[in-house]
Amino acid sequence: MDIDQINKELATKTPVEIVQWALKNAKKPIITTNFRPYEAAILHLVTSVDSKIKVIWCDTGYNTSSTYNHAEELIESLALNIQLYIPKQTAAHRDVVLGIPQVDDPKHQLFTEQVKLEPFNRAMSAHKPDVWFTNLRKGQTAFRNSIGVVSRSADGVVKVSPFYHFLDEELDQYLKDHRLPNEFNYFDPTKQLDNRECGLHN
């Protein structure tokens, strides 16, 4: 698969056309979500084309009440085929033995492994996808500026980001057009800073 050529071909396509292209070429597609801001857009977009697609939710256990309520609302309204993965240790237990280390603390990598990477890797191992829909967008981080609508993960899975070139304002309009809620009271304990990678994509 020539990723550069594909990105050139998809440059003028709409998000729904990108999803249709990806699903046409997929055997075991998934979409991942953490119900952060603007996740309603990608979930609505992909499930409008494939209502049965598996939606992988790796819940760190540190989401706000607002985010959990938002998740429940979208799971019900979009009839999401949720596949839930959680850390092997509860947040309450981890708070006692480790807490939430700052990003410059050597223990932060262990924390990230426990709450995000291990559940995610367990999910990917269980489902073995060939296509992975994400809501990565240009302008979010330096790494994300370097990829395109289509890229490959380290283990060869084709990542598809239909809204890659969309600005917040354009996603706001998408949410408005489809009467979808948004969620801004979101906390990712592994990032802490908006411009840091979450660990799944770099």
The total number of residues shown for the chain amounts to 202
Does residue 10 carry a pLDDT above 70? yes
| Helices H / strands E in the chain, number of each | 9, 6
Contact 61, 87 (CB under 8 A): yes
pLDDT digits (tens, 9 = 90+) for 153-186: 888 899 999 999 999 999 999 999 999 999 999 8
- Which of the listed ranges 39-53, 94-108, 127-141 does the model predict with the highest average pLDDT? 39-53
Q: What is the DSSP letter of 116?
A: I
pLDDT digits (tens, 9 = 90+) for 37-63: 999 999 999 999 999 999 999 999 999
What's the mean pLDDT in 92-109? 92
Q: At what angle do helices 15-24 and 3-10 cross, to 10 degrees?
A: 140
Strand 29-33 versus strand 54-58 pairing type:
parallel
Domains of the chain: 3-177 (3.40.50.620)
Question: Band of the pLDDT at 189, cuts 50, 70, 90?
Answer: confident
Q: How far is CA 25 from CA 46, 123, 153, in A?
A: 14, 21, 17
